[in-house]
């Protein structure tokens, strides 16, 4: 689980599809000219010309085989290519962290593969990783850090 159940979701988007496997708690992005209309992606690189963070993924996205089993509604799982729930404002606890351990009040930036980090990456061409919000505290014993997202 990459997103703890304790959260305060202030604003949700349910309009974008995700065409790749992903775990809830990562940040989904769009890149004009490469991301199809109505789709978001989990970027491998946190920088790029025009890269925009859209929101934190609230669903697990799996490549489901409906011949073997039905839908996992109790697990909040959707199939690849389905419309997903994203939140672009709220307080969350996630373990999708990379880089140095965050502390309370430290800025949160987009990291590699949709993770959150305290270090703002740059591609050397003037493109920097987008700011996402700030950390509300250090990670707990299970590695979940509270973060405020405001996109």
Specify the pTM: 0.87
Domain positions in the chain are 8-150
Residue-wise pLDDT tens digits, 68-81: 777 666 677 888 88
Give the count of alpha carbons within 13 A of 135, CB side only: 24
pLDDT in tens, 82-101: 899 999 999 999 999 999 99
């Amino acid at each position: 689980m990459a997103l703890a159940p304790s959260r305060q979701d202030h604003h949700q988007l349910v309009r974008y599809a995700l065409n790749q496997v992903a775990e809830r708690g990562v940040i989904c992005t769009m890149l004009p000219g490469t991301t199809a209309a109505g789709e978001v992606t989990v970027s491998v690189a946190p920088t790029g010309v025009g890269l925009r963070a859209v929101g934190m993924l609230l669903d697990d996205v799996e490549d489901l085989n409906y011949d073997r089993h039905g839908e996992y509604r109790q697990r909040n799982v959707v199939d690849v290519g389905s419309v997903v729930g994203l939140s672009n404002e709220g307080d969350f606890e996630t373990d999708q962290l990379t880089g140095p351990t965050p502390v309370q009040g430290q800025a949160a930036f987009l990291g590699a593969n949709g993770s959150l980090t305290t270090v703002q990456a740059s591609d050397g061409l003037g493109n920097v990783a987008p700011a996402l919000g700030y950390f509300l505290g250090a990670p707990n014993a299970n590695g979940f850090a509270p973060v405020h997202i405001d996109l």
